[in-house]
Chain A
Amino acid sequence: MGSWIVGNWPSFDPHNFSQLRPNDPSAPSKKTPITYHPTHERTLPPPDQVISSEAKNILLRQFYQRGDEKLRPKRAAPENLAPEQECKHPRASVASSSEPPK
């Protein structure tokens, strides 16, 4: 049994730890352990980052996510986008005039 273990602890095999050469317990080593510093700054957070908890609960987040997916216009035919935007403008202006002022 290794003599470095303080007190005679039981073990399965008395030859375990027999190769270990421990430090002298009466004069403990004054070496400080090695510390590691990062060599890059890729993982640093942005300086203005603020972490806060989400106000909406998970159910509402799901509703919003699915609603956004449904209402996001699908970009399947990009050449049709330009005429769609043109005909969308007069509709948008009619809608804004009937909305109450914010």
Chain B
Amino acid sequence: MFRSNNITARIFQRQITTPSPGTSVHHARRFYENIVPGCTIHDVECPDLSFRKFTEDGKYLISFSRTHQDLIVYRPTWLSFSCKQEDCDTQDLPLKAKKFESFFTQLYSVPLASASEVICKDFFLYAETNQFGVFATSTAQIHDAPATGGAILGVPSIEKITFHLLRLEDGVVLDERVFCNDYINLAQSMGVFLFEDLLAIVSLRYQRIHILQIRDSGSLVDLRSIGEFCREDDELFLNSSSQADGTAQHMPINNVVNDPNLEQPAQENCFLSGIKQRLLSFIVRGIQNEQKVETMRNQSLKKKFYFHFQDYVDLIIWKVQFLDRHHLLIKFGSVEAAVSRNADNHPSFFAVYNMESTEIIAFYQMSSDELYLLYEQFCDYFHVPSKSSLYMNFISSHSNNIYALEQLRNNKSKATSFSLFIKKVLASLPFNCQSQNPSPYFDQSLFRYDEKLISAADRHRQSTDHPIKFILRRPPHTLKFKIKTGPEAGITDCRTKRISSFIFHPILPLALSVQQTLFSQPAVVNIHFRR
């Protein structure tokens, strides 16, 4: 049974056959082999903004001003031009058409940050069902902040972090949530995870996971705050029971207001935080149940638990993601690694926590074979599925794509040490929310491309002078299109380092490539589209 590569033949075939169950997205995607963004407009004149990304439904292009104070949103459209000659296909585009405005119309420009704040340009989350966007603005970071009010020592502090909920249709700010004297990792949206309408924000400084809900009306509602207390009424219970005891540890509220130095030191020190208690008791029960004989049990506990007790107590929450509406995957680690750039050498642990029953379900070390096996088999369940757009669930991973699986197996066989390989692979867990581009041009079963130069993960890469080739995976393995960054003639000055970033539209054959130097020279923006 031969599958024709001709687009007309494919359209006729589509009229008469229905795809096998569960493969409608794959069938639709095959048309992207024929419709490719092969035409490039080099160095297009565009406003000097830092372009962030297209929203997942492809309706908006998010960009920020160079001063990082304004948000500008564009609607992607398509160019239109008329050609008077007979043979229009071979003609070059008229100069009037080769503009940024042919492809994008500005919808609005909203000032999000006030004078002392900046918009975090790495942070953007999109709630697709209501077309809401979550943005973050923050003031400057203060290193060596004192550990007051339950804060962890060693974590820097930011005076004010504001999360803005915006309706992208018209740019109206619907709600805000402010965190003062806190530290939330905003780079690449690492400290925040959005799942359906639930937002999990990790406050590194106070070691709390705030769960918020985005209502349809546009308000952000606090659901729970996990960390010190697990259930919503824990704090009330502890306060009321210590009051009933009449212990000297609990100071009446008036005294605290008048004399702020007198905190509740004794009470704070004697209890570990709620989630830490859950974690430690889970570890103890696991170690206890390993041994059948009582005497061996105590010895095992001493070796495996009490010896490392202080290390377990000193663990802090680094990163969190949702596994479903009730379960969180939490990464724990040490304080120093949380703020350092290279966290790979420090030990870290993973725990699965059920928010409803407040139980820890599983606990793994970062080089755990078991967790790696689960990741290898069920990777797609770590990327929580999206209910709104079907194609969001088909971003190539080794669980849904045979070529990606082959690559993982190759890497596994080439690895010198299996535990180091596991550590490297599991270091990507928990995943950054919405960090992968759903464009079908990154689908590994359609195209083969150099993953070091371009991939679905949106991060900056080293820029190369030669174009990036996209080659068909299926026979006849032809070169389909090339993405060349930078000006058409290439760069003569090879000394300055250049970085490129790529912004692909999720549906249309349209992509932006931005090449910039590390100095604040204006970026070179190319538009790649299908002519």
Contacts and interface: CB of A to CB of B under 8 A. Distances in A.
B289 A62 contact: no
Contacts of B237: 100-101
Contacts of B290: 70
Given A67-B361, A74-B289, A60 B234 contact: no
A67 B362 contact: yes
Nearest to B385: A57
Given A57-B324, A60-B327, A76 B292 contact: yes
A57 B324 CA distance: 8
Contact of A57 (B285, B294, B362, B381): B381
A57 B433 CA distance: 19
A77 B381 contact: no
A80 interface: yes
B378 A63 contact: no
Nearest to A55: B324
A66 B362 CA distance: 8
Nearest to B374: A62
Contacts of B381: 57-60
A59 B378 contact: yes
Interface string A41-84: 00000000000000011111011101100111110110010011
Given A62-B378, A66-B362, A100-B234, A77 B323 contact: no
Interface of A, secondary structure class, is: helix
Given A84-B294, A100-B234, A100-B237, A59 B289 contact: no
B370 A66 contact: yes
Interface residues of B, number: 23
A83 B294 CA distance: 10
Given A63-B352, A64-B361, A101-B237, A73 B289 contact: yes
B469 interface: no
Contact of B324 (A60, A62, A67, A77): A60
Interface string B285-314: 110011011100000000000000000000
Contacts of B324: 56-57, 60
Contacts of B289: 70-74
A100 B231 contact: yes
Contacts of B327: 60
B378 to A, nearest CB: 4
Contact of B323 (A60, A67, A74, A84): A60
A76 B289 CA distance: 11
Contacts of A67: 361-362
Contacts of B292: 74, 76-77, 80
Given A70-B286, A80-B294, A63 B231 contact: no
Contacts, number: 52
Contacts of A73: 289
Contacts of B233: 100
Nearest to B323: A60
Contacts of A66: 362, 370
B382 interface: yes
Interface in B220-236: 231, 233-234
Interface string B70-94: 0000000000000000000000000
Given A57-B324, A72-B289, A84-B294, A63 B382 contact: no
Contacts of A100: 231, 233-234, 237-238
A59 B361 CA distance: 12
Contacts of B234: 100
A56 B323 CA distance: 10
Nearest to A77: B292
Interface string B365-379: 000001000100010
Interface in A74-102: 74, 76-77, 80, 83-84, 100-101
A76 to B, nearest CB: 4
Nearest to A83: B294
Interface in A3-20: none
Contacts of A64: 361
Nearest to B382: A59
A60 B352 CA distance: 9
Given A80-B293, A101-B237, A59 B231 contact: no
A62 B294 CA distance: 29
Nearest to B360: A67
A76 B324 CA distance: 37
Interface in B44-89: none
Given A60-B323, A100-B231, A71 B370 contact: no
B293 A77 contact: yes
B286 A59 contact: no
Given A100-B231, A100-B237, 18 more contacts: A57-B323, A57-B324, A57-B381, A59-B381, A60-B352, A62-B378, A63-B352, A64-B361, A66-B362, A66-B370, A70-B289, A71-B286, A71-B289, A74-B289, A80-B292, A80-B293, A80-B294, A84-B294
Interface of A: 56-60, 62-64, 66-67, 70-74, 76-77, 80, 83-84, 100-101
20 contacts: A57-B381, A59-B323, A59-B378, A59-B381, A59-B382, A60-B327, A60-B352, A63-B352, A63-B374, A66-B362, A66-B370, A67-B362, A70-B290, A71-B285, A71-B289, A72-B289, A74-B289, A74-B292, A77-B292, A84-B294
